[in-house]
């Protein structure tokens, strides 16, 4: 038999005050400015998670305090360059192709898709002899023109938010998201879809209100897309030889060399710099 867990005693009278203080502490937290916005964001997450863990310790729920503390330590380990905890390792991609995009990107794509749906249902773009496909195309082109910031949600995703493939436009992406979102099995996307169908659409009183709801969805997604942060990945030149593997001893030495540098380097970039330095020393002086 499993050992019985100790009974948890919580002072209900003090709980509202402690929750209020927790919220104020979380909202008031900052981690200091850094050159890297992703590092700054991670440090803020660590501080807030630690504070939530301290809250559970204050009210006597030690098990939850340990869970939040472990989560903060995992993020801190990533910040310190440690090997990530297995819980942070992504699963192998079953499709053997590109990985699914992040949840926050799909959350905004879902809002954009709902915005397009509202624009179409408002019948603002309905014309005589116009098919439903043409009507949807008109709505997406109007949305793409008014909210170009949504382009940051396109592939390839990055800090510029630009897709170099000219065949893929923001308008075509909006149409794609509109058809994909209702079929998406992700819990976050499907939950947002149910709320949109069961509550937002049913609450709209007129076609004009649907149009304004659609614009509000699109504006919110565009504004939030501007705040998305993506890690920059420097690609090596296409002309060159690809190094396959390094022995473990050399890999450790390479990591130690990277740790001593003033700026963060990827392993391929570090190898290129070390090789350039070595070749420079070997080049005979004229």
pLDDT tens digits for 230-271? 766 555 555 655 565 777 788 888 888 888 887 778 888 888
pLDDT of amino acid 233: 56
pLDDT of residue 1 exceeding 80: no
Which residue in 220, 219, 209, 202 sits closest to 123, CA to CA? 209
Between 52 and 236, residue with greater pLDDT: 52
pLDDT of amino acid 240: 59
Classify each residue of 149-186 as buried b or exposed e, where b means 16 or more C-beta atoms within 10 Å of its C-beta. Answer: bbbbbbeebeeebebeeeeebbbebbbebbeebeebee
Average pLDDT of the residues of the chain:
83
pLDDT of amino acid 4: 53
Q: How confident is the model at residue 80 (pLDDT cuts 50, 70, 90)?
A: confident
> Are the C-beta atoms of residues 129 and 207 closer than 8 Å to each other?
no
First-to-last C-alpha distance (Å) of the chain = 82
> Are the C-beta atoms of residues 189 and 181 closer than 8 Å to each other?
yes
pLDDT of amino acid 244: 59
Instruction: At 266, give phi and psi (nearest 5°).
Output: -80, 165
Interval 113-124 mean pLDDT: 94
pLDDT of residue 17 exceeding 50: yes
Q: Could you report the per-residue pLDDT of 188-233, keeping only the tens digit for each?
A: 888 999 999 999 999 999 999 999 999 999 999 999 999 887 766 5
Q: How confident is the model at residue 50 (pLDDT cuts 50, 70, 90)?
A: very high
pLDDT of amino acid 99: 72
Rg value, the chain, Cα: 25
Q: What is d(CA 284, CA 286) in angstroms, rounded to the nearest whole number?
A: 6
pLDDT of amino acid 162: 52
Q: What is d(CA 114, CA 200) in angstroms, rounded to the nearest whole number?
A: 10
- Considering the entire predicted model, what is its pTM? 0.63
Interval 36-49 mean pLDDT: 86
Between 116 and 267, residue with greater pLDDT: 116
Whether the ω angle into residue 159 lies within 30 degrees of 0, i.e. cis, is no
pLDDT of residue 91 exceeding 80: no
Which residue carries 């098919």 as its tokens? 131
Classify each residue of 41-53 as buried b or exposed e, where b means 16 or more C-beta atoms within 10 Å of its C-beta. Answer: ebbebbebbbebb
pLDDT of amino acid 273: 86
Classify each residue of 226-255 as buried b or exposed e, where b means 16 or more C-beta atoms within 10 Å of its C-beta. Answer: eebeeeeeeeeeeeeeeeeeeeeeeeeebe
Interval 62-90 mean pLDDT: 84
Q: Could you report the per-residue pLDDT of 128-171, keeping only the tens digit for each?
A: 888 889 999 999 999 999 999 999 998 776 544 455 555 788 99
Q: How confident is the model at residue 77 (pLDDT cuts 50, 70, 90)?
A: confident
> Are the C-beta atoms of residues 174 and 150 closer than 8 Å to each other?
yes
pLDDT of amino acid 30: 82
């Amino acid at each position: 038999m499993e050992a019985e867990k100790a009974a948890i005693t919580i002072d209900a009278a003090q709980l509202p005050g402690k929750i209020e203080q927790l919220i104020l502490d979380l909202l008031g937290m900052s981690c200091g400015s850094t050159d890297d916005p992703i590092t700054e964001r991670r440090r803020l997450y660590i501080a807030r998670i630690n504070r939530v863990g301290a809250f559970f310790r204050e009210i006597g729920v030690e098990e939850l305090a340990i869970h939040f503390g472990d989560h903060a330590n995992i993020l801190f380990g990533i910040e310190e360059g440690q090997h990530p905890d297995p819980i942070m390792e992504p699963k192998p991609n079953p499709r053997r192709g590109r990985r699914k995009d992040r949840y926050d990107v799909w959350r905004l794509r879902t809002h954009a898709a709902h915005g397009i749906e509202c624009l179409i249902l408002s019948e603002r773009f309905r014309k005589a002899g116009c098919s439903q496909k043409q009507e949807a195309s008109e709505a997406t082109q109007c949305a793409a023109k008014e909210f170009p910031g949504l382009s940051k949600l396109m592939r390839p995703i990055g800090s510029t938010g630009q897709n170099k493939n000219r065949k893929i436009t923001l308008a075509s992406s909006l149409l794609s998201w509109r058809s994909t979102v209702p079929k998406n099995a992700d819990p976050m996307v499907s939950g947002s879809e149910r709320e949109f169908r069961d509550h937002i659409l049913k609450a709209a009183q007129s076609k004009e209100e649907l149009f304004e709801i659609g614009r509000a969805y699109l504006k919110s997604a565009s504004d939030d897309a501007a705040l998305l942060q993506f890690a920059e990945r420097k690609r090596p030149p296409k002309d060159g030889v690809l190094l396959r593997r390094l022995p473990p001893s050399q890999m450790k030495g390479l990591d130690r060399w990277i740790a001593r540098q003033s700026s963060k380097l990827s392993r391929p970039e570090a190898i290129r710099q070390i090789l350039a330095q070595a070749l420079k020393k070997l080049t005979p002086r004229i």
